[in-house]
Amino acid sequence: MSAERAIGPNFASWRLKQQRYSLVGESCGHCQTKIFPPRDICPECNHEAKELFKFSGRGEVYSFTTVYEPPAGFEDNVPYTIALVKLEEGPLITAQLTDLGEEPVTIGMPVEMVTRKLRQDGDRGTLIYGYKFRPPLEISEKEAVLLPSENSLSGT
């Protein structure tokens, strides 16, 4: 029995928690490039980049395609749209689009990050969550007053 099988395929997934749920990457202290996913060395200047950076989660569709023949584990989602999203802070990331309704996907379409179920893993049925992107929600001023501020969530 392999170590992965004995321990489980998601044993180290806690290490990716910030990356998966909060879009936390890194910022290069030398050239200020924002990096996602984190990789410790800046791809622009090759200096060390270990300053954590939380991305806003806002961006726009840079390119997209619709998947009709999915890889194993994603058969229940067909068809679904995958996009390259250019984050406001610069990096391009690949993610599934969600909550589209009847809205057609277009290049330049504004999107925001949300946490959603990605798939169900293996025989144990563990739910794997991560980031997807959707068109931004439009909320009224009245609704905005009822939403907790980002500072109130952090306790400051």
Q: Specify if 127 maps to a domain.
A: yes
pLDDT at residue 153 in the model: 47
Q: Specify if 103 maps to a domain.
A: yes
Indicate if 35 and 64 belong to the same structural domain. no
Indicate if 64 and 99 belong to the same structural domain. yes
Residue-wise DSSP of 47-106: -B--EEEE--SEEEEEEEEEESSPPTT-GGG-SEEEEEEEETTS-EEEEEB---TTPPP-
pLDDT at residue 91 in the model: 93
17 is in which domain, residue-wise? Answer: 12-54
Indicate if 39 and 88 belong to the same structural domain. no
Distance CA 12, CA 123 (A): 18
Q: Specify if 81 maps to a domain.
A: yes
Distance CA 153, CA 77 (A): 33
Q: Specify if 26 maps to a domain.
A: yes
Put simply, whether the predicted model's pTM sits higher than 0.85 gets the answer no
Indicate if 50 and 61 belong to the same structural domain. no
Indicate if 30 and 87 belong to the same structural domain. no
Share of the chain above pLDDT 90, in %: 46
**Using 50, 70 and 90 to split pLDDT, how confident is the model at 147?**
low
* 35-93 residue pLDDT tens: 988 888 999 999 998 899 999 999 999 999 999 998 887 787 789 999 999 999 999 99
Indicate if 69 and 102 belong to the same structural domain. yes
| 143 backbone φψ class: left, alpha, beta (φ>0; ψ -120 to 50) | alpha
* 1-14 residue pLDDT tens: 344 444 444 445 44
Instruction: List the CATH number of the domain containing 61.
Output: 2.40.50
Residue of 138, 125, 63, 136 lying closest to 95 (CA atoms): 63
